[in-house]
Amino acid sequence: LKLKINFVSLKPGSSMELELYFPEKGLSISLSGEIAWSKGVQNRMELGLKITEMDEEAKNEILSWIASK
């Protein structure tokens, strides 16, 4: 799984665009979200994301990938 992220701010309420790439399937999924929370942990950032836009096919692909792990 490869993840590309486009964002301007990590403040709660900020918008974020994500692209998930599944190399074993050659599949790329785009989705939009809103940052629910963020915090610094040692030398990295952690955040919660509320998905605001994702089509049903993308949702099913993600759930299928999670179930296979």
List, run by run, the mean pLDDT of 10-residue segments along the chain (69 residues).
Answer: 74 90 88 90 87 91 87
Residues 6+ apart with CB under 8 A from 28: 19, 20, 21, 22
pTM of the predicted protein model:
0.69
What pLDDT was estimated at residue 1?
Answer: 65
Strands (E), 1-66: 2-7, 15-22, 27-41, 44-53
